[in-house]
Each structure stands twice: as structure tokens, then as C-alpha cells.
């Protein structure tokens, strides 16, 4: 799945000293995306980093009874387990798929046979760019956009450009939007086909310039050139 590669490319391990850190062997609960690593093992990819020993980590190698894990691949999960050092590692004791908090949802009914549920989540939906000591928090927030085909036929989109998603973000008290787009893999018009029951998923990173000061923000994402598939969500930027 291409979207899994996207999220893995967005998030790299971030190391740094931090107060209130967990010790090796401490049981923690984390939220993130469960993905296959490049070496064939499993990874928990964490937009909101976990503090492990003296490090903040945005990705943890996963160990444990992996028999039921395949059904959770590419899913947003809550995992509980023991962290270990020296490498960023979690021995998973319990893991389940969960819905991101404050998820935005819209239903699209273009015809009797063409219906879909569109969702948008900011993960995490509450964060701060800096810690109390002034260091960067290591948070790497994402907008996660999905289309679930609930109709009786496939959804076939021919986009007007090679951009897949068009996203914008603004402070709730302001009118000016920060805007960006997610390019496709070609330089031609992009085509997206979602089979019946299929799920399309893409990620948009939220950089500091999109939400530079504390407060509540509104995010809107749609397929570029197809306004019917637009959806909104909200997230909060706090102070250290």
C-alpha cells in the first residue's frame, strides 16, 4: 500500500533528552500506525513520540506474539507494552485498532449506486511544538484522509492535474488559509479507482508554518478538483 510508505517516509526517529521520560522496561500505552518495516519486521509509527529512556522516538520496532498482527497492518492502533533499550523497541502485550479522536466525517451520495464515507483526522489532535524547556517536542502531526466506497459500483476519478489531495489549514480566529497539495506519482492527470468496499487513504503532514501559534485550527481536505469529497476536522496547538 502506497500510503504506508508515505507515513514511514514522513516519520523518522527523533532523539533528544526530555523530562518525565520512561525507563527501560516501563509499560507504556502509545497510539500510532502499525506498519511493515523495511527489514520485514513490524513497526509502530508514532506521530506523537513516546519518551523512552533519554530519547523521544517516533518509531518503535515491535516484538511479541505476531500471529494476529497481520489484520492490523496499516491501521491506527492503541498498543500497550514494555519499552526496551538501547534500540527503540516495544514488546507488545495488547494492541487494538481504534478510531482517531475528533474525526471529521462526511457522506457523499452522487447517485443511487455511488455513495461513500469520507473522513479526516488530525493525529495527534492536540499537541505542542515545544517542550517546557524549549526543546522541540518531536511531534510530527498528520492529516489522515480516507474514502470508503459504500456504493454498488467502483468509484473512478480522473483528476484535473497530477495533484491528489488539496489541503488547507487556518486558525479558527482567522480567515487566511495555509494551503498545500499532495502530488501523484506521474506528471499526467491522476486517476483513482476505489472498488466496492475499498478504502483509499492518504496523508498530509502538518508543518509548523501551517499552525504556528497556540489555539484551535480548522483543516479541510478534498480530492483536488472534486469538491464533493471535501471534509473538515479540528485540532489544537497548545503551549509547552
Are both 135 and 202 inside the same structural domain? yes
Give SS3 for 69: helix
User: Of 182, 142, 149, which Cα lies nearest the Cα of 166?
Assistant: 182
Q: Are residues 226 and 118 in the same domain?
A: yes
Q: What is the DSSP letter of 17?
A: -
Do 208 and 157 have their domain in common? yes
Task: Report how far apart the first and last C-alpha atoms of the chain are (Å, whole number).
Answer: 36
Same domain? 162 vs 85 = no
pTM: 0.87
Q: How far apart are CA 93 and CA 79, in angstroms?
A: 8
59 with 166, same domain: the answer is: no
Same domain as 157, residue 195? yes
Structural domains of the chain, count: 2
Three-state DSSP string of 172-235: CCCCCCEEEEEECCCCCCCEEEECCCCEEEEEEECCHHHCCCCEEEEEEEEECCEEEEEEEEEE
Lowest mean pLDDT, pick from 2-6, 27-31, 180-184: 2-6
What pLDDT is stored for residue 225 in this prediction?
93
- The mean of the pLDDT values for the chain is 87
**SS3 of residue 135 by DSSP:** coil
Q: How confident is the model at residue 223 (pLDDT cuts 50, 70, 90)?
A: very high
> What CATH number is given to the structural domain containing 154?
2.60.40.2360
Q: Both 131 and 66 in a single domain?
A: no
Nearest in space to 99 (alpha carbons), one of 165, 144, 66, 141:
144
pLDDT digit string, tens, across residues 51-89: 776 678 898 999 998 889 999 998 999 999 998 766 788
- Same domain flag for 141 and 52: no
Residue ending a domain, among 49, 65, 97, is 97
Upstream peptide bond of 3 is cis (omega within 30 degrees of 0): no
Q: Is pLDDT above 90 for 104?
A: yes
| Closest to 106 measured CA to CA, from 118, 114, 91, 94 | 118
Angle value at C-alpha 145, between 210 and 143, nearest 5 degrees: 25
CATH number at residue 60: 2.40.50
**How many beta carbons lie within 10 A of that of residue 236, not counting itself?**
17
What pLDDT does 55 receive? 76
State which H helix or E strand residue 7 sits in.
helix 2-10
Of 97, 125, 146, the residue that ends a domain is 97
**Domain of 53, in residue numbers:** 2-97
The pLDDT tens digits of the residues spanning 113-161 come to 789 999 999 999 999 999 888 889 999 999 999 999 988 889 999 898 8
Domain final residue, candidates 65, 97, 129: 97
| Residue 93 and residue 210 share a domain | no
Residue indicated by cell numbers 506498519 = 35
Query: Does residue 117 share a domain with residue 83?
Result: no
Cβ 158 vs Cβ 191: under 8 Å: yes
Contact present, 207 and 143 (Cβ < 8 Å): no
62: nearest Cα among 48, 87, 17: 87
If asked whether residues 206 and 143 sit together in one domain, one would say yes
85 & 119 share domain: no
Amino acid at each position: 500500500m502506497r500510503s504506508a510508505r508515505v507515513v514511514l517516509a514522513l516519520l523518522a526517529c527523533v532523539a533528544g533528552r526530555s523530562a518525565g521520560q520512561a525507563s527501560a522496561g516501563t509499560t507504556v500505552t502509545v497510539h500510532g500506525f502499525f506498519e511493515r518495516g523495511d527489514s520485514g519486521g513490524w513497526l509502530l509509527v508514532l506521530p506523537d513520540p513516546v519518551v523512552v529512556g533519554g530519547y523521544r522516538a517516533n518509531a518503535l520496532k515491535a516484538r511479541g506474539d505476531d500471529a494476529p498482527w497481520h489484520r492490523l497492518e496499516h491501521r491506527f492502533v492503541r498498543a500497550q507494552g514494555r519499552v526496551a533499550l538501547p534500540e527503540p523497541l516495544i514488546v507488545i502485550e495488547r494492541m487494538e485498532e481504534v478510531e482517531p479522536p475528533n474525526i471529521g466525517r462526511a457522506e457523499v451520495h452522487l447517485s443511487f449506486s455511488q455513495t461513500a464515507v469520507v473522513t479526516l483526522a488530525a493525529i495527534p489532535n492536540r499537541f505542542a511544538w515545544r517542550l517546557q524547556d524549549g526543546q522541540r517536542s518531536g511531534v510530527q502531526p498528520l492529516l489522515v484522509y480516507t474514502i470508503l466506497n459504500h456504493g454498488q459500483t467502483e468509484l473512478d476519478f480522473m483528476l484535473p492535474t497530477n495533484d491528489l489531495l488539496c489541503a488547507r489549514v487556518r486558525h479558527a480566529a482567522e480567515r487566511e488559509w495555509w494551503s498545500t497539495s499532495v502530488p501523484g506519482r506521474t506528471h499526467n492527470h491522476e486517476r483513482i479507482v476505489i472498488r466496492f468496499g475499498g478504502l483509499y487513504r492518504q496523508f498530509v503532514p502538518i508543518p509548523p508554518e501551517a499552525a504556528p501559534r497556540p489555539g484551535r485550527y480548522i483543516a479541510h481536505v478534498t480530492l483536488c478538483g472534486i469538491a464533493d469529497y471535501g471534509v473538515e476536522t479540528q485540532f489544537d496547538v497548545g503551549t509547552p
